[in-house]
Amino acid sequence: MITIVDYGMGNLRSVQKAFEKVGAEAVICSDPDKISQASKLILPGVGAFRDAIQALKDQSLVEPILEHARSGKPFLGICLGLQLLFDVSYEDGEYEGLGIIPGKVVRFEDQPDLKIPHMGWNQIERTAPHPILEGIPDHDYFYFVHSYYVAPENESDVAAWTDYGCRFASMVARDNIVASQFHPEKSQDAGLKLLQNFASF
C-alpha cells in the first residue's frame, strides 16, 4: 500500500488523486503506527521547513519516517518532502532536517531578472538512467514552486539537474529513496508517468 504522510503541510489530496489516475491506490495517513507498516511511503510538503520539521516532531512521525527510509522499502519525497531529507536548512534561520541524505537546503541567490520563487515549468537533465524516470524523455518539463533548493554533499546522490540562475539538484536518488523538488502531481503526463513508475516498484 502506498501511504502519503499527513503532517498538516501539503497538497495531499492532489497527490492521492494523481495516483488514482494511474490506477494505484494511495492512502493519506497521520498515524505513526500505520506509517511504520507502509510498504511504500510518500513524504509531500508545501510551506516552510521550520514548520514542517516541527510538525513531524510534534506528531511523532520522525522515527517512522526514518525507519522506512532505512528499511529498503520505496520512499518518495516531493518538494518540501525532498528538502526535509537533508541535514540542515537555512530557510529563515538554521534548522536541523531528518539527516537521511547529506547536504543542505539553501536559497536561490538574488540576480537581475531572476524571479524568486522559481515557479512554473522547467526541464530536468538526468545524471543516469533510473527506474523512476523510465519512459520519460530526458529534458522533459516538470512543474516547480520553490525559493530554496537542495545542495547534496555527494554528487552521486543527484538523479537530475535543473537550471534556474544556477544548476541545482532537482531530483535525488539513494538506494530505496527518491525525491523531487518539482511536483509530479502537477506535471501532467510526465509527472503521472513518474508516479506510475513509483507505484510499480
Torsion of CA 54, 174, 123, 155, to 10 degrees: 100
**How many CB atoms within 10 Å of residue 52?**
25
User: 51, 9 in Cβ contact below 8 A?
Assistant: yes
Say what the pTM is: 0.97
Which residue in the list 29, 79, 91, 118 is annotated as catalytic? 79
User: 142, 180 in Cβ contact below 8 A?
Assistant: yes
Which residue in the list 29, 118, 146, 185 is annotated as catalytic? 185
DSSP state of 198: H
Q: Answer yes or no: 118 catalytic.
A: no
Q: Answer yes or no: 29 catalytic.
A: no
Which of 200, 201, 188 is CA-nearest to residue 21? 188
Residue with cell 503506527: 33
- Please state whether beta strands 177-180 and 75-78 pair in parallel, antiparallel, or not at all (unpaired): parallel
**Domains in the chain: boundaries:** 2-199
Cα–Cα distance measured from residue 178 to residue 42, given in angstroms and rounded to the nearest whole number: 10
Domain 2-199 part of CATH 3.40.50.620: no
Q: Answer yes or no: 79 catalytic.
A: yes
Q: What is the pLDDT along the chain (201 residues), one digit of tens a residue?
A: 899 999 999 889 999 999 999 999 999 999 999 999 999 999 999 999 999 999 999 999 999 999 999 999 999 999 999 999 999 999 999 999 999 999 999 999 999 999 999 999 999 999 999 999 999 999 999 999 999 999 999 999 999 999 999 999 999 999 999 999 999 999 999 999 999 999 999
